[in-house]
């Protein structure tokens, strides 16, 4: 399914708001009852919570542009990419030897507003899986 450009632009703005610690901008992208589940067990709901979430992001995280966009249906968009998190490689459960984290974001939309955003770490991105499968003949 082709990616809806308006939803992709909303998701791009989401990443910019996180990188710039712009809680007001972040909250404006969500429905009134919008939710973020950030992958660390933190569940944030509603505009006041989303503003605080956006304003409290650690400085120095580079979100960049996702490497792959996948449209699940008219309401669901997935983005895969890497972010750089200073000091990440020092954590015991780090999945990389540098400060790069591979992530998958799943956005559920109501119209062009985000209803739910969830993020989780992944071992491989879709292109890495495809390359591995090509090399192993799968």
**How confident is the model over 77-100, as a mean pLDDT?**
66
109 band by pLDDT with thresholds 50, 70 and 90:
very high
Per-residue tokens: 109: 């939309």
CA distance 83 to 3: 22
Q: Which domains does the chain have, with CATH numbers?
A: 5-136 (3.10.450.50)
Query: In which band, very low, low, confident or very high, does the pLDDT at 102 lie, cut at 50, 70 and 90?
Result: confident
- Return the percentage of the chain with pLDDT > 90, whole number: 43
Which residues fall within 8 angstroms of residue 40, CB to CB, at 6 or more apart? none
Predicted pLDDT of residue 68: 86
Which of 15-19, 20-24, 47-51, 79-83 shows the lowest per-residue confidence on average (mean pLDDT)? 79-83
């Amino acid at each position: 399914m082709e990616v809806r450009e308006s939803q992709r632009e909303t998701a791009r703005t989401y990443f910019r708001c996180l990188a710039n610690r712009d809680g007001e901008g972040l909250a404006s992208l969500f429905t009134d009852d919008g939710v973020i589940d950030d992958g660390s067990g933190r569940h944030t709901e509603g505009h006041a919570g989303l503003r605080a979430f956006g304003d409290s992001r650690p400085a120095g995280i580079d979100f960049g542009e996702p490497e792959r966009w996948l449209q699940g249906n008219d309401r669901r968009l997935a983005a895969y990419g890497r972010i750089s998190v200073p000091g990440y490689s020092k954590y015991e459960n780090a999945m990389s030897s540098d400060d790069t984290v591979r992530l998958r974001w799943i956005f559920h939309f109501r119209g062009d507003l985000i209803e739910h955003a969830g993020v989780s770490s992944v071992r491989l991105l879709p292109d890495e899986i495809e390359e591995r499968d090509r090399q192993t003949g799968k």
